[in-house]
Structure 1
Amino acid sequence: MQRRKIPSTGEELPVIGCGTWQTFDVGSSAAERAPLAEVLRVLFEAGGSAIDSSPMYGRAEGVVGDLLAASGDRDKAFLATKVWTSGRQAGIEQMQRSMRLLRTSRIDLMQIHNLVDWQTHLPTLQAWKTEGSVRLIGVTHYTESAHDTVLAVLQRARFDFLQIDYAIDDRHAEQRLLPFARDNGIAVMINQPFGGGGLLRKLARRRLPDWAGEIGCTSWAQVLLKFALAHPAVTCVIPGTSKPGHMRDNAQAGLGPLPDAALVKRMVKEIAT
């Protein structure tokens, strides 16, 4: 799988990861968890590592922590989660709980979820980064309406990562956020790479175009992921899934050539317009 450098550290991150919103919010039964254990196995086998979660995602953090502990694969994971509350002490307690649920003493990437009380949490994250309990820090959002605010925050404070929405039918981040991240050494993690409005379901009814084979794509999911990865600012995409077959399909987008500028324009014209 291709890897891209995290600008602030120089370390390389595999370009395909896994989100856990909804998909990992399950109970404790073997029937519920076995497919998710296989999702993680497939991710690691394919060379991926990023797993993104949040206290907002129900039981997902605990499920991820239990599965990694059971498999002994914590060292293969780049664990990203978030703080999503107001107040300094509430933030500290929530992040400590996340560490317990994820069964780790160190989070690879701690993000301020949707900018909630970001000015309060930032000093804590900076201190924890210095101490080593958090390696990297970031901010997140998932709606176009928040992009201007996200940009203003990135202009005011230094973060290692930006997690933002970006897809072939959701390209607003191209205007200012992605260029700013690229020019200022901020890694970018993409959520919602399949877009909104059931785009993937609509495309599933269409035949793959001939040009898909030119970039090594055998599914529409791979086409959409490669579109996001074609932007030079993007470090990693984190499509969520609870199905091992989908994880295997997604991981293939990390292999082979990416669309060039001419093909990107063609993709937008044929898919998003």
Structure 2
Amino acid sequence: MIYREFGKTGFKCSVIGMGTYYDPLWILGAKVFGLKKGEKEHVDAVKAGLDAGINLIDTAELYGTEKLVSQSIAERKRDDLFIATKVFFNHLKYDSVIKSCNRSLRNLGTSYIDLYQIHFPSKRVDIRETMKAMEKLVDEGKIRHIGISNFNLQKTKDAQSAMKKYEIASTQMPYNLSRRDFEKNLLPYCRENRIAVLPYYPLGHGKLISQSNWPPELLNHIFEKYGIKSTAQMALNWLITKSDLIFPIPRASSRNHVLDNAAAADWVMDEDDMRKLESAFPL
């Protein structure tokens, strides 16, 4: 596993993380009926990732998986892990942010959250009110860094301008080889400001897993050159090679998938092959 600094936080994260969003039906079942289908398999998957050297885990109050993460990390050294969660857009008033954070801390079974993210921007709550609460949480030691998710460039700038003491540590957006609009303006801004990037849907909602969606000659070339057999590894390796600020968070659905994803950090794609992949999936 490769580790590098997460933006400007000083913490060395594994370049491959683990996401714990499963699907809307899973969320509905967990939150409304208390049913968590495949929970044991998901916990086993996260534990397998930790054993493989992954130390970055992403969750959210919306997902209903914070307690699942708590189970997965119970026997691990907390300071070795980088745990990220999110506050939903209907909890962005000052008092609601504080309450949501305290609830997430209880669910995660931890005394602090490494990265607390605003899941979606709000049309009703002034970002300055939300950031005031976020900075208060940093001051109290309940969170260590502040992130955003699903913010466009202007809203990202607004979020940073609303902060008085700290900086935006990260942003989370859909980004993968087949969906590269993120590169037009947000990626350059992140590079300029050393903001870490957590691409979700790094495998294109499964599109980049199917070999039928890849040019056969290119697929065979990459497989033979690097000795791999996984399209997921190709897609993830392209992301982590693209920038040292990028930390994809593919879903931790099963042990085998997580171990395959982790192996994407065992090799380095050269610049010529990076260009070939980008030509196959142009902007």
Which TM-score tier does this pair reach, normalised by the shorter chain?
0.7 to 0.9
Q: Is the 8 A contact 2:17 2:55 kept in 1?
A: yes
Q: SS state of the match for residue 4, structure 2?
A: strand
Structure 1 counterpart of 2:239, one-letter code: A
Q: CA deviation at 1:204?
A: 5.5
Count how many residue pairs are aligned between Structure 1 and Structure 2: 265
What is the CA deviation profile of residues 241-261 of structure 1, one whole-angstrom value per residue up to 9, with x for unaligned ones? 31110000000011111342x
What is the CA deviation profile of residues 98-125 of structure 1, one whole-angstrom value per residue up to 9, with x for unaligned ones? 1100111100100111123433221121
Q: Is the 8 A contact 1:178 1:233 kept in 2?
A: no
- State the alpha-carbon separation in 1 of the partners of residues 117 and 250 from structure 2: 17
2:274 to 261, 264, 269: 264
Q: Is the 8 A contact 1:62 1:101 kept in 2?
A: yes
Give the direction of change, closer, same or farther, for the CA distance of 1:218–1:271 in structure 2 (3 Å limit): farther
Q: SS state of the match for residue 133, structure 2?
A: helix
Residue 22 of structure 1 is matched in structure 2 by: 22
Q: Is the 8 A contact 1:129 1:136 kept in 2?
A: yes
Give the direction of change, closer, same or farther, for the CA distance of 1:178–1:109 in structure 2 (3 Å limit): same
Structure 1 counterpart of 2:87, one-letter code: V
Residue 207 of structure 2 is matched in structure 1 by: 199
Give the direction of change, closer, same or farther, for the CA distance of 1:91–1:154 in structure 2 (3 Å limit): closer
Q: CA deviation at 1:130?
A: 2.4
Residue 174 of structure 2 is matched in structure 1 by: 165
Gaps of 5+ in 2: none
Residue 60 of structure 2 is matched in structure 1 by: 54
Q: CA deviation at 1:182?
A: 1.2
2:157 to 152, 155, 171: 152
What is the CA deviation profile of residues 70-126 of structure 1, one whole-angstrom value per residue up to 9, with x for unaligned ones? x44544431100111231111211111111001111001001111234332211211
Q: Is 176-185 or 227-236 further displaced after alignment?
A: 227-236
1:35 to 33, 37, 41: 41
Give the direction of change, closer, same or farther, for the CA distance of 1:34–1:269 in structure 2 (3 Å limit): same
- State the alpha-carbon separation in 1 of the partners of residues 234 and 249 from structure 2: 15
Residue 240 of structure 1 is matched in structure 2 by: 251
| TM, length-normalised to structure 1 | 0.86
What is the CA deviation profile of residues 132-151 of structure 1, one whole-angstrom value per residue up to 9, with x for unaligned ones? 2111111111xxxx523344
Q: CA deviation at 1:180?
A: 1.1
Q: Is the 8 A contact 2:113 2:144 kept in 1?
A: yes
Structure 2 counterpart of 1:13, one-letter code: C
What is the CA deviation profile of residues 26-79 of structure 1, one whole-angstrom value per residue up to 9, with x for unaligned ones? 76889833212221221111111111111111x21122113322x445444311
Matches within 5 A, 1:1-273: 1-22=1-22, 25=27, 32-57=38-63, 59-69=64-74, 71-72=75-76, 74-84=78-88, 85-116=91-122, 117=125, 118-141=127-150, 147-153=152-158, 156=161, 157=163, 158-196=167-205, 198-203=206-211, 208-215=219-226, 217-260=228-271, 262-271=272-281
Q: Is the 8 A contact 2:113 2:143 kept in 1?
A: yes
- State the alpha-carbon separation in 2 of the partners of residues 14 and 91 from structure 1: 28
Q: Percent identity?
A: 28
Question: Pairwise CA RMSD of aligned residues?
Answer: 2.6
Gaps of 5+ in 1: none
- State the alpha-carbon separation in 2 of the partners of residues 102 and 129 from structure 1: 17
Q: SS state of the match for residue 114, structure 1?
A: coil
Q: Is 13-22 or 215-224 further displaced after alignment?
A: 215-224
Q: SS state of the match for residue 171, structure 2?
A: strand
